[in-house]
Amino acid sequence: MRRKEEGTVAFLLSQCGMMGHRLFSKGKRMKLSSSNIAKRVRSFLSRRWLDVLISLVVFTVSLVVYNATLTPSLSYRSPDGNELATVCYQLGLAHMTGYPLYTWLGKLFTYLPVGDIAHRVNLMSAVMAAGAVALLYLILRQLIGRKLVSALVALFFAFSLTFWSQAVIAEVYALNMFMLALCGLLLLRWARTRQRGYLFAFGLAYGLSMGTHLSNLGFAPAYVLFILLEDWRILKRPGELLGAIGLFVLGCLQFLWLPYKASMLVDLPMARNAPITLERFYTYTLGAFPQMKFAFPLVAIPGRIVIYIELLRQNLKIPGMLLGIIGMWGILFKDTKKFYLLVLMYLVHVFFFIQYRVFDLDVFFIPAHMLFLLFMGYGLHSILELLEKLIARIAGSKVTISKLLHVGTAIGATFILIVGVLWQLRANYARNDRSQDVAINDFYENVFELLPEDSVLLGKGGVFGYDMFYYRYVYDVRPDVVMPMAVSGGRPPGREGWEEGAAVFSTEWADPNRAKATPWSVPRELTDQGTWYVPRLVGQNGIGAGFGQRRLVLYELQEEPPELIVRRAEPNYEVHHRLGAVELVGYDLADDSVAGGACLELTLYWRVLRQQRILVGTALDDVPLEVHDLGFGNLPRYVAETQPPRSGIVVEEYAVIVPSSLESAVYELKVGVVDLRRQAGGESEFIESVVLTEIEVGE
């Protein structure tokens, strides 16, 4: 017998869809009684209270874990996250493809009285990801009917590596998964009940989902095929079909936001395609990033498939993959129409993105992982069904034995699933825990305190410059400081408002004798020929998503070279400790106590023993503070231009930021050498180090 479960969100949206259809088709004013609506809701809750309760429990468990690992503010975990947090606050226009729905919902979250603006937008990801998991539970209930199994399988996905990573930062993928899960639930409810309100609500939700990721358009063939397989006679009811299509178009009208806000673009490549004409509108949306689409020849496809399979293994593990294959087989014969829906969605999505050239490919496969998880849940259901049939055969007419075997099977399956969920939680917690990611905030708090009045601050432009723009656009920090890269409307950065003789600083190191490397680099016109980049402030390295380490360094630009190599040095504290290709001669330290989030003023004296690239860094106990090339990139040029003594000592004088996330305690200040290969992979562990002294960190 088919069960009649339905989700709370789907039920309420279906009622809204029905009301909207009556208003649209009959053209009459509906007399809506608030008491009647309340009565319907109470009736629904009384019939489905257990589903509502379980979905709330799944939502709460997911949200608690996501909130515990949530990024406190800005982060480099996503290349777009800092931009998205700022654009939500401004109600501006994000990079291609615009993401209007994300922007609007993000703006609502910025009104929450918790943390700073970036934290609130991060929190939106956590809430929407938890909501997606709750909806995933309801979808699994539609497919397999088992409450506890559905809940645990949904939680297994909640703590999968990639999906979890997007639930703790400002990014579009958590909200996109919520919208896709909502679309799936509404469509399945329509297929079961044939209530047109669900179909209308699906059309609206699907149109709105375009504002979270335009790749969702690729699911349209699967949706259309499923609707026709379920009820081909809908073609004879044009009002119903046109109503759903009309609501889809209504949801897509959100993209009128793009030309309205085009003047706010600060990214030059985006501004050149500002969506103010039909051609540019297409380029900004459906025609975005053509160099990334179908970027691999046919001979490369097998290798790309292997990459996808490895990503699937990382998220759902080998047992989950095997269960998914079993589930595909089972649903093919038991519920063929849903098989066509899910498999076509899955194949279209995987086919498109295995040919997509992008460094953060893992996040694009999250919808495919969710679809495969549905097969996984169905596979587990099929195995349990088979066991139940075997128990019935073995027990025969022995009711007591049959009940005992059924209970044992249920307990065993529940235990295995709980272990799987806990294993996911334990395996992925450390990799997705962003609660201590305070590097950007600590760095810029010190930067804006250090900068002289009316100085100039250079840095990355466009999407990648929002780590700096955020403080100006959201909080108007240091309005006296000129930020040439923070210009909008497609204008290239210039020297407007730049006083003659102003002190110039930059967060980006560049060789002024070379042309800019990317459209987001500091234009060479803003720096003089032969300028030296002298480090003044160094923050904790920010970990990026697939693009290695983002080093937080504030350089002062000056015409004269720093005194980088001296013949003799007299450090306050002598060390004379060899660390691979260099010897740490000694160091100077202004103070041995510091508040969290403040700076240690440090001078290191090095003797180079072997000519090669050397990465050195500092740490407090096992907490890395920073890693940099010896001489902060200036050493080769300094040697070539000044011809210092060969046996000279390299002097590095700078302030290093102590993370504000550190607890008040006494820590060992370490200096060490970092392996170049590990650093390229995002690791900063010392291969050799020496303890200099103890540092007391206070509040």
- Paired tokens of 572: 């306050």
How does residue 235 score in pLDDT terms, banded at 50, 70 and 90?
Answer: very high
The answer to whether residue 98 scores a pLDDT higher than 70 is yes
Distance between CA atoms of 198 and 210, rounded to whole angstroms? Answer: 19
In a domain, 502, yes or no: yes
Beta 582-589 vs 573-579: how paired, if at all?
A: antiparallel
**Structural domain contains residue 3:** no
Q: How far apart are CA 673 and CA 615, in angstroms?
A: 6
- % of the chain residues with pLDDT over 70: 89
- Write the pLDDT tens digit of every residue in 296-325: 999 999 999 999 999 999 999 999 999 999
Q: What range defines the domain where residue 473 resides?
A: 438-560
Is residue 46 over pLDDT 80? no
Res 422: pLDDT: 96
Give a yes or no: residue 543 inside a domain: yes
**Nearest by Cα to 271 from 483, 100, 95, 99:** 95
Q: Quick one: 398 and 457 in the same domain?
A: no
Integer-rounded Cα radius of gyration of the chain: 29
At 26, the pLDDT band (50, 70, 90 cuts) reads very low
Instruction: Tell me: do 385 and 499 sit in the same domain.
Output: no
**Reduced to 3 DSSP states, what percent helix, strand and coil does the chain have, rounded to the nearest 5?**
55, 15, 30
User: Is the pLDDT reported for residue 277 higher than 60?
Assistant: yes
Q: What percent of the chain has pLDDT over 90?
A: 71
* Residue 607 three-state SS: strand
551 and 416 within one domain: no
For the chain, the domain total comes to 3
Query: In this predicted structure, which of 39-48, 108-117, 226-235 has the lowest mean pLDDT?
Result: 39-48
For the chain, what is the mean pLDDT?
Answer: 89
Domain boundary among 560, 589, 618: 560
In terms of phi and psi (left: phi > 0; alpha: psi -120 to 50; beta: otherwise), the region of 309 is: alpha
Per the domain annotation, does 409 fall within a domain? yes
Rounded CA-CA distance 583/560 in Å is: 27
Q: Which of 560, 583, 612 is the last residue of a domain?
A: 560
Residue 286: the pLDDT is 94
Segment 175-210, tens digit of pLDDT: 999 999 999 999 999 999 999 999 999 999 999 999
Type of residue numbered 625: L
Predicted confidence (pLDDT) at residue 610 exceeds the cutoff of 80: yes
37-41, 170-174, 441-445: lowest mean pLDDT where? 37-41
Among the residue ranges 179-183, 327-331, 392-396, the one predicted with the least confidence is: 392-396
Q: Are residues 448 and 388 in the same domain?
A: no
Query: Is residue 331 pLDDT above 70, yes or no?
Result: yes
Same domain, 645 and 552: no
- Domain co-membership, 508 together with 656: no
Question: Comparing 10-24, 42-56, 214-228, 394-408, which segment has the lowest mean pLDDT?
Answer: 10-24
Quick one: 494 and 604 in the same domain? no
Residue 252 pLDDT class (50, 70, 90 cuts):
very high
> Does residue 35 share a domain with residue 156?
yes
| pLDDT for the residue 356 | 92
Domain boundary among 432, 452, 467: 432
| Lowest mean pLDDT across 133-147, 166-180, 265-279 | 265-279
The answer to whether residue 157 scores a pLDDT higher than 90 is yes
For residues 635-674, one letter each, b for 16 or more C-beta atoms within 10 angstroms of the residue's C-beta and e for the rest, the string is bebbbeeeebeeebbbbbbbbbbbbbbbeeeebebbbbbb
- Taking a C-beta distance cutoff of 8 angstroms, is the pair 247, 210 a contact? no
Is the model's pLDDT at 23 over the cut of 50? no
CATH number, domain of 693, equals 2.60.40.770
Instruction: Tell me which range, 6-20, 43-57, 535-549, 552-566, is most confidently predicted by mean pLDDT.
Output: 552-566
421 lies in the same domain as 451: no
**Largest Cα–Cα distance in the chain?**
97
pLDDT tens profile 113-151? 999 999 999 999 999 999 999 999 999 999 998 999 999
User: What distance in Å separates the CA atoms of residue 685 and residue 453, rounded to the nearest whole number?
Assistant: 38
In a domain, 321, yes or no: yes
449 and 387 assigned to the same domain = no
2 located within any domain: no
Residue 108 and residue 255 share a domain = yes
Q: What is the pLDDT of residues 515-564, one digit of tens each?
A: 567 788 888 888 888 889 999 999 987 544 333 457 899 999 999 999 99
Please report whether residue 1 resides in a domain. no
Find the DSSP H helices in 110-172: 117-144, 147-158, 161-166
- The residue-averaged pLDDT of 434-438 equals 93
Together in a domain, 663 and 521? no
pLDDT at 449: 95
Match 């009384």 to its residue by tokens.
46
- Residue 94 belongs to some domain of the structure: yes
| Residue, of 459 and 403, whose pLDDT is higher | 459
Report the alpha-carbon distance of residue 486 to residue 605 in Å, rounded.
38
Q: Is the pLDDT of residue 396 over 80?
A: no
**Cβ neighbours of residue 67 closer than 8 Å, sequence gap 6 or more:** 123, 126
- List, as one string, the DSSP characters of 303-363: HHHHHHHHHHHHHHHHHHHHHHHHHHHHHHHH-HHHHHHHHHHHHHHHHHHTT---TTHHH
